[in-house]
Amino acid sequence: MNGIFAIEKPSGITSNQFMLKLQHALTKSQVFSKEIQRATAERKQQYEKETGKKASKRKLRKVSKVKMGHGGTLDPLASGVLVIGIGTGTKKLANYLSGTVKVYESEALFGVSTTSGDVEGEILSQNSVKHLNFDDLKTVEEKFVGQLKQTPPIYAALKMDGKPLHEYAREGKPLPRAIEPRQVNIYDLKVFSDSLKRDHDYTFLRPTTEEAVATVKNLNANMLNDVLYFSKNYTDKHGLDSEVAKVEEPFPLSKEEEQEIEKEGNSYKAPKLHFKANVSSGTYIRSLVSDIGKAMRSSCYMVKLIRLQQQDWSLERNNVFQLGDFTERDEKVWSKVLEKVLDEGASVDVIEELKKAEKDVPVDVKEDVIPDDQTKNGYTAETLENANVEESSNELKRKIEQV
């Protein structure tokens, strides 16, 4: 089997860790065993012909599992559509890495900005929220829709003077200069009516140790003073001579608000931002969240992100698999549907086809037993349990989603 399909990544796991789980599930199936055996035999023959030596297990490891890649990273906090290429389908993934339209739904909290732009970062600033009102908030829909300059977050996978931005953050060093803004497109932005409500389950971030505060203080000049831009559509429509937003400084946290937060502790609920955005590749949703906070003369950090759609693959169109489809269903069921999706693409209703396959295919009772020889297909228990080795520095490195 070769081609492209989509699967829903849950929150709380990196894209690479999740893909490893999927790869393991497909590799151990009978559906792919013949292809793996053929590829292994070809590689063994090729190696022996070129070197005159027998190929070791290490040399054959690459072809002893399903060839797989993904079409755009989702960071651990994010869930949603992850486009997967298998076999020769991996060659088509480049089409998804740039030039694709993506749809996101996000929730954030007003009153704090962080180093990463989300709940996992260190606090950079605390600001007032008592002036916020829904009518003003709705104006951001117009201000940010269209061609827009956007400053990537410091934890993005970008470099400055040959050094990754996240390295400066990890070392607590200021950047040599401000991060250059990028041109992106926001095709549509909808702020939902439950925005500014406080009836949610999110715990508000509060300052931690003095040491942590001192560390991030070095980054403030480069991160808090990023230029805020409004879209070209908005500035042209209103006859403004520059896309640089003329917005006054955020309101500082008032003494009254500070006392309220201190008194309520973890029970304090900050006003929520809830929106849906249709964006181009290269758009950083967490930067959009931060910019909306600045536009409202406050601050904002992301607590939830769902990629609803990437190109034609959409959770709302039911053409996206879940990992459980491959780990909990009999492969006689999922293989039939997967083959159909690889042949026909995003037009297939995965949920409906799985229901049909359950009825049409006689299913054996499946025992999900991992073979004793777990290195058979290039995996070991250690590999699966420690899939996060490659991203052990993720907490600071933060390969931020570039959509």
Q: What's the pLDDT score for residue 175?
A: 77
Percent of the chain scored above 70 by pLDDT?
A: 77
Instruction: Write the DSSP assignment of 139-183 as a string of letters.
Output: THHHHHSEEEEEPPPTTSS-EETTEEHHHHHHHTPPPSSPPPPEE
The better pLDDT of the pair 352, 221 is held by 352
Kindly give the residue spans of alpha helices, DSSP state H, lying in 2-149: 15-27, 30-51, 57-60, 94-97, 134-138, 140-144
For residue 217, give the amino acid letter.
K
- pLDDT (mean) for 183-200: 98
Crossing angle of the two packed helices 30-51 and 331-344, in degrees rounded to 10: 70
The whole-angstrom separation of Cα 159 and Cα 169 is: 12
Percent of the chain scored above 90 by pLDDT?
A: 59
Place of tokens 């829709």: 145
Residue 156: is its pLDDT beyond 70? no
Residue 288: is its pLDDT beyond 80? yes
Q: How confident is the model at residue 167 (pLDDT cuts 50, 70, 90)?
A: confident
pTM of the model as a whole: 0.83
DSSP reduced 3-state for 253: coil
Catalytic residues: 75
Record the tokens describing residue 351, joined without a space.
């949920």
* CA distances for 338 relative to 5, 22, 65, 167, angstroms: 8, 13, 17, 41
- pLDDT (mean) for 134-143: 98
Q: What's the pLDDT score for residue 103?
A: 98
Q: What's the pLDDT score for residue 391?
A: 45
- pLDDT (mean) for 3-22: 96
Pick the most confident of 63-72, 103-112, 199-208: 103-112
- pLDDT (mean) for 152-167: 76
The better pLDDT of the pair 41, 363 is held by 41
Given its phi and psi angles, is residue 380 left (phi above 0), alpha (psi -120 to 50 degrees) or beta?
A: beta
Q: What's the pLDDT score for residue 209?
A: 55
DSSP reduced 3-state for 229: strand
Q: Average model confidence (pLDDT) for the chain?
A: 84
Q: What's the pLDDT score for residue 45?
A: 67
Residue 43: is its pLDDT beyond 70? no
Q: What's the pLDDT score for residue 77?
A: 93
Phi, psi of 54, deg, nearest 5: -80, 140
Complete domains list, the chain, with CATH:
3-98+313-391 (no CATH), 108-310 (3.30.2350)
Record the tokens describing residue 399, joined without a space.
């390969």
* pLDDT tens digits for range 341-398: 999 999 999 999 999 999 987 755 544 444 444 443 444 444 444 444 344 444 433 3
CA quadruple 235, 239, 242, 245: dihedral, nearest 10:
-50
Q: Which of 277, 287, 274, 240 is nearest to 146 (CA)?
A: 277
Residue 78: is its pLDDT beyond 60? yes
Pick the most confident of 107-121, 145-159, 200-214, 264-278: 264-278
